[in-house]
Structure 1
Amino acid sequence: MFQRLANTLALTTLGTLIATTAIAQNKTDIAWGGSNPGGVMYYMVGVAGTELGKDLPDVNITQVTTGGSTENAKRLIKGELDMGIVYGSHVYMSLQQTGPFANDDKGTMLRGVAMAYEGPTYFVTLEGNGIKSLSDLADKKVALGPPGSGTVFNCSNILGSLGLLEEIEPQMMTFGDAGRALANGQIDAFCQSSAPAAAVTELAETNDVIVVPYSDEELGKINTKYPFYHTGTMPDTTYKGVPATDMPYTTVYWVAHERVNDDVMKRMLAAAYAKQDALAAGHKAWAQMKPDTKNFLGLGAPMHPGAEAYYRETGQWAE
């Protein structure tokens, strides 16, 4: 009797082990690049991994901390990431092999999933630092973001188009470090892409924050030199004490590597739209998510087949 019981328990344990192994083997691992802590992309990917994982138990989403858009695109091209949050300008430039992608393989493996959000680029300082306009940044210590980030790319473009890039003392640091350095008087200002950004929100809670305004002439110069920027308005509800401000915006996309399984991609996207309110509660940038297929295709890259299937079935496809 005891032998039969032992045999039964052994068989049950073996069956459970086999079933568990089968489930593990059937899981799809997704490495998703965001940014450094304090950046918008970091929190977007973090909340997406948590929320989508609840509905997709067979998909294991891993948040990968990166420098931001530039690094995400480069690592997607190398096959080191499955997904990433990437500026539309970087998708375009990777296909043209220009700018930061001049020495990389062509980005022919990049596939569109959805527009994640539109992100502004702006300079943050504190009351009392004597910085009221962009020209006042000359001879000042200005943090441009972490190396490899889209923020460094955007800030350098903007300052360069205004003839200010050679006039500042550039510093490279993470968003969180930049906020603390500004509060401690170690730098005079820092540049930030996307909003709301945790580093700025936290700084504004205990300091009088200034977002340096752009003049119409400056915005015109930026948009003329870099057509992938457009002028938008950051609302006065973004940061405590900061009024509505016009600034350069760029479109940011959820991008996947071509190797991501079509069905997995389709189900992830369906879950994201079904849970968009929950995603937006985790970070409000997710509230902006939409197909934007026509504009993404205009960059020269195709949509992911799984995403295309979802948009066609839901009547949201446009080209």
Structure 2
Amino acid sequence: MYNIVKKGLMILGLTIALPAFANNYTIGTGSQSGTYYPLGGTLAKIWSENIPDFNMRAEVTAASVENIIKVATQKQLVGIAMGNVALKAYTGEKPFPRKMPTQVLFALYPNVVQFIVPADSDIHTISDLKGKKISLGAPGSGTRVSAVNILNILGITENDVKAQSLNYTATTSALANGQIDAGVIVGSLGVGAITELSLTRKIRILSFTPQELKKISAANSSYQAFTAPANSYKNVPEFEVPAVWNVLVTNQKMDDKLAYEMTKVAFENIDKIRQAVGVTKFMTIDNMPKLKGVPLHPGALKYYQEHHQ
């Protein structure tokens, strides 16, 4: 009898515990050496600590494209993505096979397009990249989408370069070891992977000409000219590059109340977020709808409108 009762209690315990599993969520981030991962971890911690019956963890992914697909198929609750990639997903352009049922909770911070070369490289302009061995970013990443799009806008195709498909860490490692001529990282200014590389190797980041920047913005309005000050990385001179906003993407089917609560809690704890991830100084209520072309989720929009009466 004791064993029967014990088993019954165990079954009952499992039955009672089941609803908790429904409240375990993930946020899609990127490489551990980028900005997406620590930002995602910070958001996950703040939401888990301040929303009842809510538990979230950060998941390492190939970043933007993978995150959007997982959010669209409800394998992740939210994901961090570059605005240009989020726009392609919403409108159903390649690399997406169709329109993705995604919306934005809020904009995060601008991503900087950084073409990195050794300081003594004979590559000084974007056109000099032709024929060179270049890491264009991991498959399924926003870095790769941005790198290919920008080069295409400037008349350089993947066939014009010896393209490699490496993530942040592998890109900087290959540069340090002389295995590639250049590498692209599209991330926050001061991103860890480049910061660490600059401490052990002398590097440069290519500047785009005013004409190139104008051509890129005309072809895709999500890119804007950005000036990075000297010594943003150790001994790296000032550089002019395109930049695009990062956004937090969610499924259109997310519950309005949950979307509102997640937005509210994030901005009520913005000081903690900024303390952990400095580039989120750009993450403000005013900047929530910074990405044009993809609407805010109704729950997030309600919070935004409450502060813009």
* TM-score, with structure 2 as normaliser: 0.87
CA contact (8 A) 2:289 2:295 kept: no
CA contact (8 A) 2:107 2:290 kept: no
> Is the deviation greater in 175-184 or in 286-295?
286-295
- Mapped to 2, the partners of 1:294 and 1:272 lie a distance apart of 15
Deviation at 1:26, TM superposition (A): 8.1
Q: Give the corresponding residue for 1:7.
A: none
CA contact (8 A) 1:27 1:59 kept: no
1:67 correspondence with 2:62 = yes
- Mapped to 2, the partners of 1:118 and 1:192 lie a distance apart of 13
CA contact (8 A) 2:260 2:300 kept: yes
CA pair 23-289 structure 1, distance change in 2 beyond 3 A? farther
Q: Deviations over 1:46-76 (max 9, x none)?
A: 2222233232352111212221112222222
- Mapped to 2, the partners of 1:62 and 1:28 lie a distance apart of 11
Q: Deviations over 1:96-141 (max 9, x none)?
A: 222212x23x22x312211111111120111122222222222211
Q: Give the corresponding residue for 1:112.
A: 104
What RMSD over aligned residues (CA atoms) do the two structures have, in Å? 2.6
CA contact (8 A) 2:20 2:53 kept: no
**Residue type at the aligned position of 1:79:** Q
Q: Give the corresponding residue for 1:88.
A: 83
* 1:239 aligns with one of 233, 242, 256: 233
CA pair 224-309 structure 1, distance change in 2 beyond 3 A? closer
* 2:178 aligns with one of 174, 185, 198: 185
CA contact (8 A) 2:28 2:61 kept: yes
Specify every segment of 5 or more residues in structure 2 that has no aligned partner in the other structure, as ranges. Answer: none
- Mapped to 1, the partners of 2:57 and 2:289 lie a distance apart of 29
CA contact (8 A) 1:27 1:60 kept: no
> What are the within-5 Å matches in structure 2 for residues 10-29 of structure 1?
21=16, 25=20, 28-29=23-24
- Mapped to 1, the partners of 2:225 and 2:105 lie a distance apart of 24
CA contact (8 A) 2:106 2:289 kept: no
The alignment of Structure 1 onto Structure 2 pairs a total of residues equal to 300
CA pair 27-287 structure 1, distance change in 2 beyond 3 A? farther
Q: Give the corresponding residue for 1:4.
A: none
CA pair 62-189 structure 1, distance change in 2 beyond 3 A? same
Q: Give the corresponding residue for 1:139.
A: 131
**Residue type at the aligned position of 1:302:** P
* 1:286 aligns with one of 263, 272, 280: 280
**Residue type at the aligned position of 2:173:** R
Q: Matched residue of 2:27: which SS?
A: strand
- Mapped to 2, the partners of 1:67 and 1:143 lie a distance apart of 14
Q: Give the corresponding residue for 2:305.
A: 312
Specify every segment of 5 or more residues in structure 1 that has no aligned partner in the other structure, as ranges. Answer: 1-9
> What are the within-5 Å matches in structure 2 for residues 192-271 of structure 1?
192-195=185-188, 196-236=190-230, 238-271=232-265
CA contact (8 A) 1:120 1:194 kept: yes
Deviation at 1:225, TM superposition (A): 2.3
1:77 correspondence with 2:44 = no
- Mapped to 2, the partners of 1:247 and 1:240 lie a distance apart of 18
Deviation at 1:283, TM superposition (A): 1.8
- Mapped to 2, the partners of 1:59 and 1:237 lie a distance apart of 41
- Mapped to 2, the partners of 1:273 and 1:124 lie a distance apart of 34
Deviation at 1:237, TM superposition (A): 5.1
CA pair 243-129 structure 1, distance change in 2 beyond 3 A? closer
CA contact (8 A) 1:44 1:285 kept: no
Q: Matched residue of 1:242: which SS?
A: coil
CA contact (8 A) 2:115 2:184 kept: yes
CA contact (8 A) 1:32 1:64 kept: yes
1:126 correspondence with 2:118 = yes
Q: Deviations over 1:183-207 (max 9, x none)?
A: 0111111001122221101001111
Q: Matched residue of 1:125: which SS?
A: strand
* 2:28 aligns with one of 18, 21, 33: 33
* TM-score, with structure 1 as normaliser: 0.85
**Residue type at the aligned position of 1:180:** S
- Mapped to 1, the partners of 2:138 and 2:79 lie a distance apart of 17
Q: Matched residue of 2:31: which SS?
A: coil
